[in-house]
Amino acid sequence: MGLVEFQNAKTGKKKEKKTMGPYDSIRDYIADLEEEGRLTRISKMDQDAYEATAFLYELMDRMGSGAPCVLIEEIKVKGKWHNTPVIGNVFNGFDMLALCFGVEPAHRDNAETYSKLVQKICESLDTDLHLPSIEPLKVDGNNAPCKEIRKEGEEIDLFEFPWIQNNPGDGGQYISTGVFVLDDEELGPNAAIHRAQVKGPSKIGANFAPGSHSHQYMMRAKRRGEEKVHAALAMGIDPISWILSGSRLAGLGQDEFTIAGGFRGRPLELVKCESNDLFVPASTEIVLEGDIINAHEPEGPYGELHGYMGNETETFYMDVKVMTHREVPWIWNFWPGIEHNYLGVPWNALHYKHLKKVLPNLVKLYTPPEAPTVVIAGIDKSFPGQGTEAGLLLMGYRPVGFTKKVVVIVDKDVDPTNLSKVVHAMGTNWQPVPASLPIANTYHTPVDPSLREPFMSSKMVIDATRQLPGEGGPKAYPDTNRGILEREAPESFELVREKWDSFINKIPIL
Ligand SMILES: Cc1cc2nc3c(=O)[nH]c(=O)nc-3n(C[C@H](O)[C@H](O)[C@H](O)COP(=O)(O)O)c2cc1C
Ligand SMILES: [Mn+2]
């Protein structure tokens, strides 16, 4: 085939091509990534030989956050070649996320792009730090891309699409980026990403972890005596709505699609499902409508986010009654433990603002997408003890304390987003004794393979700020080599920046 269509088959209308987000669909975003040179197209891959998975490992090993998004045009799954595009590594780099939030990425300056992105997200919050909200627009389903094709009952065969089995250890094929939409009379709608094992032609798992809003909705329904709960699974929605549905930003009773509208600065277009009263984004690639049964069945195992194989568990499951989709839908797959986790950026922005109220000398907060249980904070330190003070405040703040195992504090001249500078600060400024605070056991997310008991973890604050004499540090730190150069020959860097493009005439391809 070799061609991926961007147009709506029903209306024949080509999607208006934008040069930056916020995007109305995942396709608009991918089209921009291609324009920016951040997409690689692969004509064929055999996933029965785990070619795509091995490629993702190799791609991230070789290129890290410089690695592009991947679009596989034709893929072999369970003995059959599918002309259905599969996309992966959809967010890899702050430049990609910046495009989604309508922020122009800074040229070859990751730290600057991150700062601009965080600033944009912070500007969307009000003075009380409430998340922004714009009510979705309910539109007529007739022209909705997600309703180009409609199937029901016996016509539905989920195996017509190349759902990916990521790893030989996985329990089967998974819908790995689907957003489950549920409703509750008092709380309103909820949208959340949960993996869904494909269990039969019209049956999927619904892996709602205890504590998640979807799980709470199921428990509320059970208390009302309801054995089944109407649900929709929307696979392939616009980037901001997807990020909101997967990053624990919206509280219980706050509709993710309304908050997505707030961040987008314009309403999200929703259409009503065919068989129930739920609403899903009109631009969705594939919509599955049906009932989630309020009972548990075996699910998994599944290679988890932290890169370790999970256990077989018990989860809810869904009987699919209606499937609607685009003419040639795209399958958006996620490879947990291989892809980096960029969904945490809005979380960092929101909690930076909250923490700034109690820690005015906080300069930057950063969770590396490579290791979401680590957080690095830059502070403007002027008194002894401020590094450990910052570490304790961060650990004692529930959103950080629950999700992070290691807190690293650095001085303001060390950019937390530059991991080599952070490790350098640990290798030079840090004195492990006394500038460490081990914490024996405290409340922690169960998503961590090193825990002896769920919800309990030991933790560590590393104060890698320069230690002042009042806290056992040297009387004075010597000048840095770079500091001397900047002082004695201030024009040197200016000169080199001006001539940069003439010095570097070929960027090596890794
Ligand atoms: C790719 C991806 C897969 C996820 N899979 C699951 C899952 O299977 N089960 C789960 O409970 N949470 C999963 N999450 C995390 C939830 O989406 C996240 O906690 C979300 O905030 C839950 O929605 P809620 O805030 O409405 O509870 C996943 C997140 C991502 C990005
Ligand atoms: Mn929610």
The per-residue pLDDT for range 244-294, each reduced to its tens digit, is 999 999 999 999 999 999 999 999 999 999 999 999 999 999 999 999 999
Q: 488 CB contacts (<8 Å, ≥6 apart)? A: none
Are 39 and 91 in contact by the 8 Å Cβ rule? The answer is no
162-201 pLDDT, tens digit per residue, is 999 999 999 999 999 999 999 999 999 999 999 999 999 9
**Which atom of ligand 1 lies closest to the CA of 250?**
25
Q: Is the peptide bond before 22 cis (omega within 30 degrees of 0)?
A: yes
Please give the CATH architecture assigned to the domain spanning 359-477: 3-Layer(aba) Sandwich (3.40)
Judge if the beta carbon of residue 181 lies within 6 A of ligand 1: no
Place of tokens 């500078």: 421
Report the alpha-carbon distance of residue 170 to residue 309 in Å, rounded. Answer: 8
Mean per-residue pLDDT over the chain, rounded: 94
> Quick check: do 137-332 and 359-477 share a fold?
no
By mean pLDDT, which of 43-47, 106-110, 126-130, 360-364 is the weakest? 106-110
Class at the top of the CATH hierarchy for domain 137-332: mainly beta
- pLDDT given for residue 392 in this prediction: 97
What is the distance in A from the centroid of ligand 1 to the CA of 176? 10
- Examine the pLDDT at 302 and tell me if it is beyond 70: yes
Q: Sorting pLDDT into bands at 50, 70 and 90, what band is 356?
A: very high
What is the distance in A from the centroid of ligand 1 to the CA of 214? 9
**Which atom of ligand 1 lies closest to the CA of 334?**
1
- Examine the pLDDT at 4 and tell me if it is beyond 80: no
Handedness of CA 419, 487, 473, 365 (dihedral sign): negative
Domain extents for the chain?
Answer: 26-123, 137-332, 359-477
CB-facing half-sphere around the CA of 452: CA atoms within 13 A:
5
Report the alpha-carbon distance of residue 106 to residue 312 in Å, rounded. Answer: 44
- Examine the pLDDT at 510 and tell me if it is beyond 50: no
Judged on CB neighbours under 10 Å (0-12, 13-18, 19+), 337 is middle
Q: Are strands 39-42 and 69-72 parallel, antiparallel or unpaired?
A: parallel
Ligand 1 pocket, mutate which of 90, 182, 194 (most atoms under 8 A from CB):
194
What is the distance in A from the centroid of ligand 2 to the CA of 217? 10
Q: What ligand has the least distance to the C-alpha of 369?
A: 1
Judge if the beta carbon of residue 248 lies within 6 A of ligand 1: yes
- pLDDT given for residue 1 in this prediction: 27
231-240 pLDDT, tens digit per residue, is 999 999 999 9
What is the distance in A from the centroid of ligand 1 to the CA of 177? 9
**Inter-axis angle of helices 386-396 and 345-358, nearest 10:** 120
Judge if the beta carbon of residue 209 lies within 6 A of ligand 1: yes
Report the alpha-carbon distance of residue 504 to residue 116 in Å, rounded. Answer: 26
331-348 pLDDT, tens digit per residue, is 999 999 999 999 999 999
Report the alpha-carbon distance of residue 192 to residue 269 in Å, rounded. Answer: 17
Judge if the beta carbon of residue 212 lies within 6 A of ligand 1: yes
Question: How many angstroms separate the Cα of 235 from the Cα of each of 217, 241, 252, 420?
Answer: 20, 12, 22, 37
